Amino acid sequence: MGSSLERLTQPLTGQRVHIPHLPDYSVLRHCVRCARCLPVCPTYQETLREVQSPRGRLALLKAVAEGMLPPTPAVEEHLYHCLDCRMCNTVCPAHVPIGECILAGRAALAHQHGLAWWRRLVFRHVLISAERLGPALWPLRLYQRSGLARLVRPMLRALPGPLARLRRMEALLPPLPSHPLHATLPTVTPAQGIRRYRVGFFLGCMMSQLFAAESRATVDVLSAAGCEVITPPGQVCCGSPQDDQGDRVQLRRLARANIALFEHLGTLDAIVTDCAACSHTLKEYATLLEDEPAFATRAAAFSALVRDVYEWYDAILPPTLDYDSTPPLRVTIHDACHLANAQGICAPQRRLLGRIRGIEVVEMEAPSACCGSAGIYNITHPDMADRRLARKLDDILSTSAAVVVTNGPGCLLQLRAAVRERQLPFQVWHISQLLARCQHTHADGIPVPGRCGRAAAEEVRL
């Protein structure tokens, strides 16, 4: 009996090799090759190649673990073709954590080959906090404000070959706010009316630097709903970009720093973030640090408090909200991959929008299908990203919605760039921008007019 069980848990062929970070072999073996994940995978849909499917990627990792396939850069390249959209996780009957395995595989191969110089530069020195990202963006602010952008843009359009990526990066860049939010937001934003909750606000790097008005709207909506909002200075990146790029060492450093920072805030009802990638990664700290005795319990306590802004709004906002529009504003929801597929959050946003009078919600064909942004995927894999974007735009246009709501900064970048470039007939709003324009009623019965707080002054920036 013992020997047959042993055989079942051993590789079928070859020797098992030890590579740090490689996913647990027993997990890789759970794949029963049923193929259910193939039709939902965007890269398989576009290429119809097994190696570009979730099952194919797991097979690659299994072959590496068995010593049948050397961990070459070519294997690594295949893993980077994945968008990390986690659509595959939602359909696997064997509950294989496919997306997590692929990211672990990237970390394992980065450990073997070393991190590429540009990954080291960007993800260890620049994109590690909103503050550190700031100096990199000032030249771009100058570029936009000086009028240089209008001169340079036509020249960028003519760039050939790999230089065309510069044009793509420039096109993605939204009009930058004059000041990032972390530089202007007070540490404590008091609750309007009776204080009902005390929440920590995790302000993502991208939200602060690129979408300051959107996150300002979040703070205003929370405050109007009776939350005292504490935004501790000194926050660092959640670590999502580092995880995506195989840098688990840096991810752990960032996780420890954020946990220690929020511990100093005392008792909180929740740690809220308005970025879907951040809420997903912050919730993962518990698993990430469970093998570190000094942090395991603290990480579990931290992650247990984290709420995506959709979850928190759904829990605390009044049963009816009013958006002043006749006829009703037609709205569709684009679910960020890290919200719907990775966290399984689909119902709260629909319940929330269902409570707003004056809007009409119309669902698109595949609301949680990736828009092609996927971190920096739209820069590193522009062709595949464009194909995904085209499908998403078709889905949105078929709803005839005037507004698409989402809470992914990458999605905001990707979709707004498409709207600007193609002059499409809809706007892309962060959910807080819609709620800031609604009338709320306080717990103490006092109605708060729409366009609450400073969000009132902010127009939607495309």
Positions that interact with ligand SF4 (CB under 6 A): 31-37, 41-43, 54-55, 57-58, 82-88, 91-92, 94, 96, 98-99, 102
For ligand SF4, give the closer residue by CB, 36 or 168.
36
Whose Cβ is closer to ligand SF4: residue 47's or residue 144's?
Answer: 47
Select 290 or 365, whichever has its Cβ closest to ligand SF4.
365
Terminal Cα-to-Cα distance of the chain (whole angstroms): 65
Look up residue 318 and give its amino acid. Answer: P
Find out whether 192 and 146 touch, Cβ atoms under 8 Å.
no
For residue 419, the minimal CB distance to ligand SF4 (Å) is 24
What is the token pair recorded at 262?
């929020």
If the CB atoms of residues 353 and 374 are measured against ligand SF4, the closer one turns out to be: 374
Contacts 24+ apart (CB under 8 A), 168-173: 168/378, 168/379, 168/382, 169/379, 171/417, 171/420, 171/421, 172/378, 172/379, 172/413, 172/414, 172/417, 173/140, 173/144
Q: Whose Cβ is closer to ligand SF4: residue 204's or residue 372's? A: 372
Min separation Cβ 240 and ligand SF4, Å:
14
Q: Are 69 and 109 in contact (CB under 8 A)?
A: no
Residue 87 beta carbon to ligand SF4: minimum distance, rounded to whole angstroms:
4
CB of 102 to ligand SF4, least distance (A): 6
Pick between residue 103 and residue 359 the one whose CB is nearest to ligand SF4: 103
Q: How far is the CB of 86 from ligand SF4 (least distance, A)?
A: 5
Q: Which is nearer to ligand SF4, 84 or 220 (CB)?
A: 84
CB of 337 to ligand SF4, least distance (A): 8
Token duo for residue 371: 């828009």
CB of residue 20 to ligand SF4, shortest distance in Å: 22
